[in-house]
Amino acid sequence: MFLVHYITRLRYEFKYRLKLDICDETFEHIIRFYYRIPCFRKGNTSKKRDRRVVVSLTTIPARLDKVWLTTESLLRQQKRPDKVILWLAEDEFRGIEIPLALKRQQKRGLEIRYCKNLKSYKKFYYTMSEHPDAYVLVVDDDSIYSERMVAEMLNVSIRYPDNIICNRAHKIRMDKNGVFPYLKWIWYENRRSKVENPSFHNFFTGCGGVLFPVWLLDKEIYREDIFMKIAPTADDVWLNFIAWKSKIQVVMTKGILGYMIPVHSSADIGLSLKNTVRKTEYDECENDYQIRNVLEYLNLNVNEYIEE
């Protein structure tokens, strides 16, 4: 039963096709009720694959009471991953009790691990370090994902084995003067044509889910001494341009997987919003400063990757 997938499609039709003003929390409440029905199916598989598929995410204390909705969606996938790992920062969660819902999910395959606090970078850093020969699917903690997500992304990866697969990507814009400010890119929701083609123009956003062929990534990705200094709140920026340095293009899936159902919490003002607040008269935001920092550090010439 793919109830979340159908609700995701329903939300897409209402909000983006019919332009109806419907509160997202309505969809969250429906799924919350559905997830209260006990599920005893294991969320990970024991079947051997050529390459393991590991789902990785992190959360913060303010979202701990609701992250179970995200992890439940990951444990109910049509094609089950080998692992689902939730990373918690030791300094943030010291003395905090894990909610009963997450403890129950541990019995069905959820792994909860503690680590050094690398902010949002925790969601990929430790899993990729431990599984350098696997596919690592990085997701955010404030979305409910379709049951078909893992299956669809793996199917696309078969067609494009040397690429990064994502469900949601903005299109980078530039002219003869260079890259446009981040807020002037073509955002995912405004892209008229969502074509399944490899491109350096595709700037994936982690909230939609991103499937990385870790063995192809440049080892620069693990330079925590660098990324925590030059892009401390922009893991998506670091990962996108590490992909450039690795000569790996990004493929965006077609369909509705990029229109995830959001989970509302007391921490709704997350990094994505903080990083996109307009700061200058030229429409620059925090992301733009970090983009320049990363491009300069990695010594990347934009003109070698994308065209006007």
Q: What are 114's two structure tokens?
A: 């503690």
> Cα dist. 216→153, 154, 162 in Å?
17, 16, 8
Q: Where is 67: in which H helix or E strand?
A: helix 67-75
Residue 168 has pLDDT above 80, yes or no: yes
User: What range defines the domain where residue 113 resides?
Assistant: 3-304
Cα–Cα dist 114/81, whole Å: 21
End-to-end CA distance of the chain: 45
CATH number of residue 269's parent domain: 3.90.550.10
**Structural tokens at position 233:** 């709140």
Q: Which of 30, 98, 16 is nearest to 59 (CA)?
A: 98
Q: Which of 54-68, 86-100, 184-198, 280-294 has the lowest mean pLDDT?
A: 280-294
Average pLDDT over residues 277-289: 71
H or E element, residue 110: strand 110-115
Interhelix angle 3-12/24-35, rounded to 10 degrees, is 170
Other residues' Cβ atoms within 10 Å of the Cβ of residue 296: 10
Distance CA 109, CA 33 (A): 22
pLDDT reading at 281 higher than 70: no
What does the block give as tokens for 284?
Answer: 């620059």
Sheet strands side by side (includes 53-58): 110-115, 83-89, 53-58, 135-138, 210-213, 164-166, 250-252
Q: Which residue has the tokens 């994936």?
A: 204
Instruction: Say which range, 32-36, 110-114, 232-236, 270-274, has the weakest mean pLDDT.
Output: 270-274
pLDDT at 285: 86
- Total domains, the chain: 1
CA distance 184 to 186: 6
Confidence of residue 67 (pLDDT cuts 50, 70, 90): very high
Rounded to whole angstroms, the Cα distance separating 198 from 218 reads 18
Give the tens place of pLDDT for each residue, 110-162.
Answer: 999 999 999 999 999 999 999 999 999 999 999 999 999 999 999 999 999 99
* pTM score of the predicted model: 0.94
Upper half-sphere CA count for residue 265 (Cβ side, 13 Å)? 21
CA dist., res. 191 & res. 203, Å (int): 12
Query: How far from 65 is each of 97, 99, 155, 264, 291, CA to CA, in Å?
Result: 11, 7, 33, 11, 33
d(CA 258, CA 217): 23
- In the predicted model, what is the mean pLDDT of residues 159-179? 94
Query: Tokens representing 298?
Result: 């990695």
